[in-house]
């Protein structure tokens, strides 16, 4: 069966960042809504499939103010998780994929067989474009403490409070809140590398995320304060990686982990800039050790 159409949307100018394109947190707000609509249309729920284990996002193309968008969603039984839900966000004008999200669940084998029968009409093949590329699908360690993370090289990069506009119908903070925190935290982490604000401005480069993996350890609810700790994790030819940890600030209860693959983009060519050897070396040297 064809995928379900789960979102019709539009890029507002106030959702665009310093690079003049849609900021990552607003991609996530659209995946949040597509997921709600997909659950409504199909009957998928946490009671049926268990709590989502991870959301793996890839950013394929820039979106600009005025772009109209359409989202489709389906279950991929041949996906990377025991149960995989795929969301594909496209530009309406040319049908180009702008971003994909893979939602991974881990039901038991018996439950997975029952789900295959139950959701047969919502299933379609796993698209290659949505497969995780640079980040693994293996489970994350959710027992790390803030003290351990700080000792490994992470530092506080952001503070926030979950406000009513950040919470979904269940009263829990949505993915877009977490990624909004991480979006504001990221420049402070970049400033801990040679690619500081002054360095980027001198070269007319911008900061860009190309892939993310978000895992919730425990919910954040309306009114709760949150603190983000971030650290570098590695570097390659053109990209480097880092990890954000989101804690409930009063008790330092771990709420979420987000791994990010990022690059410096030449704002004239809109292409990735190769990491200089000195930059790559500095990031690798500073990478967290767990």
**Domains in the chain, number:** 2
Q: Are residues 109 and 196 in the same domain?
A: no
Q: Are residues 65 and 125 in the same domain?
A: yes
CATH number at residue 236: 3.10.129.10
Instruction: Determine the structural domain holding residue 257 and report its residue range.
Output: 138-289
Q: Are residues 117 and 167 in the same domain?
A: no
For residue 2, pLDDT beyond 80 = no
**pLDDT score, position 30:** 98
**pLDDT score, position 162:** 98
Q: What is the mean pLDDT of residues 3-20?
A: 96
- Domain C-terminal end among 81, 104, 133: 133
Q: Are residues 64 and 175 in the same domain?
A: no
pLDDT one-digit tens code per residue, 90-123: 999 999 999 999 999 999 888 888 999 999 999 9
Instruction: State the burial class of residue 150 (Cβ atoms within 10 Å of its Cβ: 0-12, 13-18, 19+).
Output: middle
- Domain C-terminal end among 85, 117, 133: 133
**pLDDT score, position 15:** 97
Sign of CA dihedral 214, 188, 269, 273: negative
Q: Are residues 156 and 119 in the same domain?
A: no
| 282 SS3 class | helix
Torsion-angle region of 171 (φ positive above 0: left; ψ -120 to 50: alpha; else: beta): left
What mean pLDDT, rounded, does the chain reach?
A: 96
Q: Are residues 109 and 153 in the same domain?
A: no
Nearest by Cα to 54 from 125, 102, 111: 102
Q: Are residues 125 and 158 in the same domain?
A: no
Q: Are residues 173 and 211 in the same domain?
A: yes
Q: Are residues 152 and 270 in the same domain?
A: yes
pLDDT one-digit tens code per residue, 60-91: 999 999 999 999 999 999 999 999 999 999 99
**pLDDT score, position 173:** 97
Q: Are residues 264 and 154 in the same domain?
A: yes
**pLDDT score, position 289:** 75
- Domain C-terminal end among 110, 133, 156: 133
Q: Are residues 145 and 273 in the same domain?
A: yes
Q: Are residues 142 and 281 in the same domain?
A: yes
**pLDDT score, position 3:** 86
pTM beyond cutoff 0.75? yes
């Amino acid at each position: 069966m064809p995928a379900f159409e789960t979102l019709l949307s539009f890029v507002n100018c106030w959702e665009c960042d310093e690079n003049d394109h849609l900021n990552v947190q607003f991609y996530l707000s659209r995946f949040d809504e597509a997921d709600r609509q997909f659950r409504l249309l199909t009957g998928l729920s946490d009671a049926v499939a268990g709590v989502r284990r991870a959301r793996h996002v890839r950013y394929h193309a820039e979106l600009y103010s005025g772009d109209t968008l359409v989202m489709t969603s389906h279950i991929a039984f041949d996906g990377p998780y025991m149960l995989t839900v795929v969301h594909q966000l496209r530009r309406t004008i040319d049908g180009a994929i702008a971003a994909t999200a893979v939602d991974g669940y881990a039901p038991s084998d018996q439950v997975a067989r029952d789900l295959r029968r139950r959701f047969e009409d919502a299933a379609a093949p796993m698209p290659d474009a949505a497969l995780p590329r640079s980040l693994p699908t293996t489970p994350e360690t959710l027992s790390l403490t803030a003290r351990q993370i700080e000792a490994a090289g992470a530092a506080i990069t952001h503070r926030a409070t979950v406000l009513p506009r950040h919470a979904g119908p269940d009263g829990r903070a949505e993915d877009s809140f977490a990624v909004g925190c991480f979006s504001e935290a990221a420049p402070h982490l970049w400033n801990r590398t040679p690619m500081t604000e002054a360095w980027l401005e001198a070269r007319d480069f911008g900061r860009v995320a190309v892939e993310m993996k978000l895992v919730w350890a425990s919910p954040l609810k309306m009114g709760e304060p949150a603190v983000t700790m971030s650290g570098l994790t590695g570097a390659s030819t053109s990209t480097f990686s880092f990890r954000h940890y989101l804690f409930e600030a009063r008790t330092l209860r771990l709420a979420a982990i987000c791994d990010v693959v990022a690059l410096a983009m030449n704002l004239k060519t809109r292409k990735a800039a190769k990491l200089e050897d000195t930059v790559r070396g500095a990031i690798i040297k500073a990478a967290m050790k767990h």
